[in-house]
């Protein structure tokens, strides 16, 4: 189970995985739904900003590494996911990017 929604970068470390849920509206039916992605923390930049890597097997460093503001809004929610709660595929992608040097923990 993910933690409570984050309101700052406090306590985040390099390599932590966040689930980012964004509220969107369907094209065909106009109904709202939540789109979720998993992102790894690459660097913490102050109290509200962090560089995050969108976790996928073949990330493009120009598009998939983003500096994002970690704030809680009704349309965008960041939650930290503990390692033992990560889906197997997300854990595998994080491990791959750690061993290839894209994620460099201290």
Specify if 9 maps to a domain.
no
For 11-77, give the DSSP string. Answer: T--TT-EEEEEEEEE-TTT--EEEEEEEEEEEEEETTTEEEEEE--SS--HHHHEEEEE---BTTEE
Structure tokens at 95: 């491990």
Q: Is the dihedral of CA 42, 52, 85, 91 positive or negative?
A: negative
Specify if 22 maps to a domain.
yes
Q: What is the mean pLDDT of residues 86-94?
A: 94
| pLDDT of 106 higher than 90 | no
Specify if 64 maps to a domain.
yes
Structural domains counted in the chain: 1
Specify if 69 maps to a domain.
yes
Specify if 106 maps to a domain.
no
d(CA 49, CA 8) in angstroms, rounded, equals 8
Confidence of residue 89 (pLDDT cuts 50, 70, 90): very high
């Amino acid at each position: 189970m993910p933690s409570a929604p984050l309101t700052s970068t406090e306590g985040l470390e390099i390599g932590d995985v966040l689930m980012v849920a964004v509220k969107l509206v369907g094209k065909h039916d106009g109904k709202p739904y939540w789109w979720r992605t998993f992102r790894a923390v690459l660097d913490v930049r102050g109290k509200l900003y962090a560089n995050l890597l969108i976790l996928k097997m073949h990330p493009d460093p120009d598009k998939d590494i983003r500096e994002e503001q970690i704030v809680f809004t009704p349309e965008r929610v960041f939650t930290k996911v503990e390692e033992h709660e990560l889906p197997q595929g997300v854990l595998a992608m994080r491990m791959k990017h750690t061993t290839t040097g894209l994620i460099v923990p201290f």
